[in-house]
Structure 1
């Protein structure tokens, strides 16, 4: 049975204006997200990964219209979000929720947990007023908290407990899609595992769909069905989790995966060191945006932008934006200025 497409992003761009001069005119733009397209199917977890500044969090915010997209189309549950009014968008947010990165900053410290959860239900009118207290207790039990904690304030909770409150707030309106924006990166490793397990349990129980934004590849491998790799506002590779981790095709994806630490003192890990810094999103390079740091770059890479496409030997749905996938894999193009460090332990 074919999966139902829940979210479709087409040609999404998010440019932020840079003001300058005495009159404060727009002199340039930060091209945070620059023409990306992908789909998310019902019941799956799609992760977006990449270095800081690659545009992954901005993508999540643009989908929700927390930042108005510069260009492109976002279709959710057969409704084109980018063409509806702000009032209609507010109604759609019942089905589209977000869990923020910082469990300290994303919760109002002046509200009790009960107030926080009640506010979400009041705004969306998702539960009758008389039943909201019972619903709050159910939500707390669902995320592993207790009834007596409903009337406590956020400062009385640990970071992991606050993130559970954030998850309960997202669940309060019975959403279909939850965007997890670095939802576990601010937590201790042991607490991360608990929250990730909770997210998986909730997905099974409520048939949730996740767009999981993270820089932690270990977490992504654990939770994802499919993975999107972004670099400087562009998607450079997309595929199912096994394809990305076991058979990566883009040089940038290979470099990212080589940086995953392995907790084994006898393991010999070849770390691919990339030259230089990430270029500025204000003035990104012509052609392939990765060519300034890519050890396999050829003259064509600095002129022609590669399309995100299926190449020989790639499974269905696995795509990479590289001109020379086949040549690199077969060793026809040798790396140049290639810094390789052998790291033990």
Structure 2
């Protein structure tokens, strides 16, 4: 894998204003993404995971400037995208594409597949006009469809076929980076496997780079090289796939991993149930944003925001944003189950 940094995100913020009052002034902000930084190397797949509302999809949209970020820098192939005007950004979009979660909503119902793919090629002027018909037929065969499908409309396809059309549209302009925003979550499991294998095949053949946004950790484990875990607009843990899945450090990451179903009825697995609701991104907690639900939270967690850092017992490149890592590193004991806010699956549920 090449070590070239294709995408470099630094101190990215995406706030959405809340208007109120007679004059419609901004009274507060939804802090969907709040000061995050990470890099993506050429040819790798970096997955962003977390609960609904954690800011992972907003991160993908902000990187592509589908939403204009509030602050920070997004450097793609050495160019800061936030410094570009609309005309310059349109040229840059040739190298940056997205596969949306809902393939039906992202395709124009009034356009045939041919018109959809031809439009992308025309806007970016990547294929001569006389060769576009051949290129469309080639793209459809590449994603497992037939050339005659080009004259059909989106409603004439199944969900899996529509997602393949979405992939073909992304590939039609020969991009370097593809943001996959829950690209397989709306598909049946068997179709998911086909689409994932297709994405991996294209990555190998075309040296594509993926930012893969998902809440399905089983899928993430299959496709990722590195994993970023987000909670309430912040990155709480980042590392290579093996480190995250075999040696998670942040309590939130451990809770997410415990929810992965195991296809074995005889397998006894402790399930971590977090207490309380996810706080509002309008008024997030001070200090560590996870402290209201964390079993190991201390007064320090309520007051001081932890920085992403590594520890001596962690693999290279594996970082977590948790004060408790310092206690683990120093050898202090973990809290007992009785003093935690975590209930395991084998415990008796509370009576209501």
Q: Partners of 1:138 and 1:270 in 2: how far apart?
A: 49
1:279 equivalent in structure 2: 279
After TM superposition, the structure 1 = structure 2 runs for residues 195-274 of structure 1, keeping only pairs within 5 Å, are 195-274=195-274
* TM-score where L is the length of structure 2: 0.96
Is contact 1:13-1:69 (8 Å) kept?
yes
2:153 equivalent in structure 1: 153
- Which SS does the other structure have where 2:243 is aligned? helix
Is contact 1:47-1:214 (8 Å) kept?
yes
1:81 equivalent in structure 2: 81
Q: Partners of 1:147 and 1:254 in 2: how far apart?
A: 46
- Aligned-pair distance for 1:338? 2.5
Q: 1:39 to 1:188 in 2, by over 3 A?
A: same
Q: Partners of 2:70 and 2:346 in 1: how far apart?
A: 43
Deviations 1:144-184 (A, max 9, x none): 00011111111110000000000000000000000000000
- Which SS does the other structure have where 2:346 is aligned? strand
Q: Partners of 2:208 and 2:100 in 1: how far apart?
A: 17
Q: Partners of 2:134 and 2:35 in 1: how far apart?
A: 45
Q: Partners of 1:117 and 1:149 in 2: how far apart?
A: 12
Q: Partners of 1:301 and 1:37 in 2: how far apart?
A: 21
2:302 equivalent in structure 1: 302
Q: CA RMSD of the aligned region, Å? A: 1.2
Q: Partners of 2:240 and 2:199 in 1: how far apart?
A: 19
Which consecutive residues of structure 1, in runs of 5 or more, have no partner in the other structure?
none
1:191 equivalent in structure 2: 191
- Aligned-pair distance for 1:316? 1.2
Deviations 1:190-210 (A, max 9, x none): 100000000000111111000
Which consecutive residues of structure 2, in runs of 5 or more, have no partner in the other structure?
348-352
How many aligned positions are there?
A: 343
1:112 equivalent in structure 2: 112
Deviations 1:225-278 (A, max 9, x none): 000000000000000000000000111000000010101000001001101000
* TM-score where L is the length of structure 1: 0.98
Q: Partners of 2:114 and 2:207 in 1: how far apart?
A: 25
- Which SS does the other structure have where 2:292 is aligned? coil
Is contact 2:274-2:341 (8 Å) kept?
no
1:325 equivalent in structure 2: 325
- Aligned-pair distance for 1:2? 5.7
- Aligned-pair distance for 1:340? 1.4
